[in-house]
Chain A
């Protein structure tokens, strides 16, 4: 049972905009920033968004993140087939432990 709650699956057609939610509590998302990771099949996770809404160099601006209260969201616009992957949210809690979400499998129809 993961500390952060994500929907197990999401889907969209090419070109569509999809959002993935991540719900936590006052001790993690509520008082700390959220990071998002993309994991393509058979590969290691890759940093997608850090500090709620910052994109590392090389991440397309189709990916965006936001946070409000104890929840966060990842939005993907202009969905592409190569976006089919598992997406994980993560945050630190007030005890300085890292917590992850259960992951969301994104299917591009």
Chain B
């Protein structure tokens, strides 16, 4: 059974760096094809994909946020860490981590398991 859970600060100040941790179980990031992604959702707004890391350390970032994001993995701890620099009030959102499954027929990924999300508020 796959589970994911996000953890990190609930409140950060403008200009600070946010560090979020996704702790997962039921799969391993040392297995070929496996990855973990991050998605966020401002209150009352739409989902926005942030980043994705694969078992082979291949990393993908949202083009609009690439300069501010870093995603890393700790395979031994079953954790993925997302850092976002220079936080601003517009970055207030619920941050989700999710497991991307792979459909061999289409050759595409989709997020089949999601964490419960963690609300991060950016305010002084």
- Residues of chain A contacted by B117 (CB below 8 angstroms): 44
- Residues of chain A contacted by B37 (CB below 8 angstroms): 98
Tally inter-chain residue pairs, CB-CB below 8 A.
64
Structural contact, A97 and B46, CB atoms closer than 8 A: no
Q: Is A81 an interface residue (CB 8 A)?
A: no
Interface size on A, residues (CB 8 A): 26
Structural contact, A47 and B108, CB atoms closer than 8 A: no
Assembled-state Cα–Cα distance A33/B104 (Å): 12
**CB closest chain-B residue, reference A91:** B108
Residues of B within 8 A of A (CB): 37, 39, 46-49, 52, 60, 62-63, 96, 101, 103, 105-106, 108-112, 114-117
Question: Do A2 and B111 form a contact, CB below 8 Å, given A44-B117, A50-B103, A51-B106?
Answer: no
- Can you report 15 A-B residue pairs in the complex whose CB atoms are below 8 A from each other? A2-B46, A33-B106, A33-B108, A44-B114, A45-B39, A45-B114, A47-B112, A50-B108, A51-B103, A90-B110, A92-B109, A97-B49, A97-B63, A98-B37, A100-B49
Structural contact, A98 and B46, CB atoms closer than 8 A: no
Q: Is A71 an interface residue (CB 8 A)?
A: no
Quick one: which of B63, B96, B111 contacts A35, CB cutoff 8 A? B111
Residues of A within 8 A of B (CB): 2, 32-33, 35, 37, 44-47, 50-52, 54, 56, 88, 90, 92, 95-103
- Residues of chain A contacted by B103 (CB below 8 angstroms): 33, 50-51, 54
Structural contact, B109 and A103, CB atoms closer than 8 A: no
Assembled-state Cα–Cα distance A32/B109 (Å): 10
Return A82 CB to nearest CB of chain B, in Å: 19
Question: Do A88 and B46 form a contact, CB below 8 Å, given A33-B103, A47-B112, A96-B60?
Answer: yes
Return B25 CB to nearest CB of chain A, in Å: 16
Structural contact, B114 and A92, CB atoms closer than 8 A: no
- Residues of chain A contacted by B115 (CB below 8 angstroms): 44
